[in-house]
Every structure is written in C-alpha cells, then in structure tokens.
A and B are shown apart, each in its own frame.
Chain A
Amino acid sequence: MWQFFHKLGSPKWFFGIAARLMPWLLAGGILLLMAGIVWGLAFAPKDYLQGNSYRIIFIHVPTAFLAQSVYVMMAVAGVVTLVWRMKLADVFVKSVAPVGLVLTFLSLFTGAVWGKPTWGTWWVWDARLTSMLILLFLYGGVIALDRAINDEKSAARAVAVLVLVGVVNIPIIQYSVEWWNTLHQPSTFKLTEKPSMPAEMWVPLLLSVLGLYLLFGWLACLRMQTEILLREQRTRWVKDYVLAGRV
C-alpha cells in the first residue's frame, strides 16, 4: 500500500495514469450527464407544487454536491501536502480550486433562479445560503493565496493550511438546514432513509451527479497534467514527451 502511495507521488507516473484514464472519464461523464439531464429535463414527471420549475434541481444539486465534495478532496490533499510534502497533492489543490469555484457559483446561481419563483426572493441570508457563499469565498481565497506567493513550496503549505481551516465550513453547509431555522429546505437525500422523491425523479438526478463526478475527474486530470508539465518542464521526461510531439 505504501509503495502505491509513494508511486502516486511521482508526477511522471501520475501523468501516464491520467492519460490512460481520461478518455474513459470523459466518455462516461458525458454519457451519464446527458442521460441524467435529458431524462430529468424532458421526461421526469413535474412536481405537484412547483410544476416545471423544480427541474433546475437536475443542475443545482449536482453542482452543489460536487462543490462541497471537491473541497473535501482538497482538504485531504492539504493534509497530504502538510504531512508528507507530496508535490502531487499540491498540484491537485491548485488545479481543482478554480473548478470548485465555478461549481459553487453555478449552484448559488441556479439556486437564486429557482428561489425567485418558489420562495419569492433571489437571496436570503439564511444559514445554508450564507455558508455556501462562504465556500465561494474560500475557493477564491485559495486561488488568490496561491497566486500571491511566488515560492512554490511556501505557497503549497500556506494554501494547505487555508484549505484545512475552511473545511470546518463543510459540515456547517451540510447540517445548516437541520441545526438552524432556514428558508432552504432540508436535504431530499439522506444516508439512512429513502429519498423523499419518487424513483423517476431521483434516478436521473443520481445519473447527473455521477456524470458530473466523472467529468470533474476528467477536468482534474487535464488540469493536473498541464500543471505537471509546467512544473517539470526542465526534466528529461517532459523534454522527451514534448519532442515526441505528443503535446
């Protein structure tokens, strides 16, 4: 197990693995996401109260879900950076932070668009919405901090600490709707109970969540490859790779 862990730390090794994984991630991601979105937007039954406007859930929930789970992945990578000083972990954090920022923005935006017809307001300062906004600022802070420090190693450590500080926000987002009175409704999906929507609604939703996960995996691999090439540009293997005309 440790051997695998140390191999994973080698940028060159990861570069090769990523190249082999990427076509599968991309194909699976597009397939699942298309299936989920088309099924959800066109074929799933409408809701008895909200009519068709609930369909934004097929975009809102996957982006909000991914936005939080990307942050958790970044926090795990942050621990690896601080404890094992593994370069690849920092490459991951740096590469996916902008993706997380976009996902968080999309979930806030789709939520606001849904909130106007359903609640009667674009925005309300309740615990769920506010903690999600804090997540957006955390992603922004991670990107800014990384850009602000020139030295690669100090940037990696500073960013890892910031990511870890921010991770306390994740359970707050998750449980805000249960701990406090909020306008946002509680989760439709719970780990222990059946989802409070019928299968013809939650299956397409699950498909789009899985599809977005795979697509995120593809995007993460692509961005990490770019970052690895940039960082390792003086090494032999990158020179060989570029000279072979594979970029």
Chain B
Amino acid sequence: MHPIRKKRLTIVLFLLVGLAIAVGLTTYALRQNINLFYDPTQISAGEAPVDVRIRAGGMVEEGSVLRDPDSLMVEFKVTDFNASVPVQYTGILPDLFAEGQGVVAMGRLNESGRFVADQVLAKHDENYMPPEVADALEKASKGRHAASGSAETVSY
C-alpha cells in the first residue's frame, strides 16, 4: 500500500478506536441513567431513591395480582426471581398485562417500600409463537405439574 494511504488509514483507525473508547467510558459512567428502570433487586437493596419519580420493571409475580372490586386499583408484585417489590396502581392496564409477563411501571417508591405507580407499560419478550403452540406448551406443562403432584393451583 502507498505510504500516504497507509498513514491515512492509521489516522482513521486511531480516530475510530479513540471514539469507541470515549463513548464506551461515557456510557459506562452513565449506565444507571441509561437504564430505563430499576429492577427489584436494586430496589430492595436500597439503590433506588425514595419519593422520586422512577421506573421499576420486572415480571408480574404469579398469583400476586389483587384487584379492588370497587375501583380500578390493582396491586401486584414485580419480581426478577431474586427479589420482589409490591406495586400499587390505579388505572387501566395494557392488554398484555398478565401474571408472568414483563412490565415497566412509572411512579414513586414510598417509605414503606411500596411502589405507587401512575403508569404501567407491558414489556414484551422476544418470543413469538402461534396460539396453538402456546396452548400445547401450556397443556404439556400442566400435565407435568399434575403428574408430579404439584400443589400449585391457579385461581381467578
């Protein structure tokens, strides 16, 4: 390669590597600001500020959804299978909201560790399947539970 071109190529490569390092360090330093939400482990470890508008995200714990019969208030627990946070919300939930599904809630954490949400968004995962497959999977897993004598009951 021509020496001038070689020199230009080196400069370009240096530019790219330098930029990558700069951006990498910046985003690393700002990672908590870039994270859209706190997960339940962080909240129960006290990393999330109290009484500041934040987002909390995770899975809706199975069997934790309690609806108030007289209002739109609903209570549920958000878990990451390590820790869980109780969430209270008044309003209409998105269609995809269900136990075992991901959610991101926006609101404030109060002194008692309860998260009072004013917006709940459903978080979709990367799995797609036709309804028949989903049904078959569910039947198969229920069959296994019954066979193993699991005491797990689902009541609505």
Given contacts A119-B121, A124-B36, A181-B35, contact A197 B127 (CB under 8 A): yes
Residues 1-56 of B at the A interface (beta carbon under 8 Å): 5, 8-9, 11-12, 15-16, 19-20, 23, 27, 31, 34-39
Q: Which of B66-74, B108-116, B131-139 is the contact stretch?
A: B131-139
Q: Does A241 sit at the interface, judged by CB under 8 A? A: no
14 more CB-based (< 8 A) A-B contacts, given A124-B104, A179-B31 = A45-B131, A45-B132, A48-B134, A48-B135, A49-B124, A117-B95, A118-B94, A119-B124, A127-B34, A164-B15, A181-B38, A183-B36, A185-B123, A185-B125
Q: Does B120 sit at the interface, judged by CB under 8 A? A: yes
Given contacts A47-B128, A47-B129, A180-B36, contact A120 B134 (CB under 8 A): no
Contact yes or no, B130 A200, CB < 8 A: yes
Residues of B bordering A, CB below 8 Å: 5, 8-9, 11-12, 15-16, 19-20, 23, 27, 31, 34-39, 57, 94-96, 101, 104, 119-135
Give A207 to B4 CA distance when docked, in angstroms: 44
A47: nearest chain-B partner, CB-CB: B128
Q: Nearest Cβ distance between residue A169 and chain B, in whole angstroms?
A: 8
In the complex, per-residue mask of A149-193: 1 if CB is within 8 Å of any chain B CB, else 0: 000000000000100110110001000000111110111100000
Contact yes or no, B133 A186, CB < 8 A: no
Instruction: Pick from B123, B124, B135: contact of A50, CB below 8 A.
Output: B124
Q: Is the interface of B mostly helix, strand, loop or mixed?
A: mixed
Q: Which of A26-34, A76-84, A89-97, A101-109 is the contact stretch?
A: A76-84
Give A180 to B27 CA distance when docked, in angstroms: 10
Query: How many residues from A make CB contacts under 8 Å with B?
Result: 41
In the complex, per-residue mask of A106-138: 1 if CB is within 8 Å of any chain B CB, else 0: 000000000001111100111100000000000
Given contacts A188-B126, A196-B128, contact A49 B96 (CB under 8 A): yes
Q: What are the residues of chain A within 8 A of B129 when measuring CB–CB?
A: 47-48, 197-198
Q: What are the residues of chain A within 8 A of B124 when measuring CB–CB?
A: 49-50, 118-119, 185
Per CB-CB distance, the 8 closest pairs between chain A and chain B, nearest first, are A45-B130, A48-B134, A120-B94, A197-B128, A126-B36, A48-B131, A181-B35, A83-B8
Give A46 to B23 CA distance when docked, in angstroms: 40
Q: What are the residues of chain B within 8 A of A121 when measuring CB–CB?
A: 119, 121
Q: What are the residues of chain A within 8 A of B94 when measuring CB–CB?
A: 118-120
Given contacts A82-B8, A164-B15, contact A186 B126 (CB under 8 A): yes
Give A169 to B34 CA distance when docked, in angstroms: 14
Give A196 to B131 CA distance when docked, in angstroms: 15
- 12 pairs across A/B with beta carbons < 8 Å? A47-B129, A48-B133, A79-B9, A83-B5, A83-B8, A164-B15, A164-B19, A165-B15, A181-B37, A183-B104, A183-B123, A201-B128
Give A54 to B131 CA distance when docked, in angstroms: 13
Instruction: Pick from A83, A172, A186, A198: contact of B23, CB below 8 A.
Output: A172
A130: nearest chain-B partner, CB-CB: B34
Contact yes or no, B8 A119, CB < 8 A: no
Q: What are the residues of chain B within 8 A of A119 when measuring CB–CB?
A: 94, 96, 121-124
Give A16 to B140 CA distance when docked, in angstroms: 60
Give A117 to B119 CA distance when docked, in angstroms: 14
B39: nearest chain-A partner, CB-CB: A181
Give A197 to B134 CA distance when docked, in angstroms: 12
Q: What are the residues of chain B within 8 A of A165 when measuring CB–CB?
A: 15, 19
Q: Nearest Cβ distance between residue B133 and chain A, in whole angstroms?
A: 7
Contact yes or no, A47 B130, CB < 8 A: yes
In the complex, per-residue mask of A26-62: 1 if CB is within 8 Å of any chain B CB, else 0: 0000000000000000000111111000100100000
Contact yes or no, B9 A83, CB < 8 A: yes
A161: nearest chain-B partner, CB-CB: B15
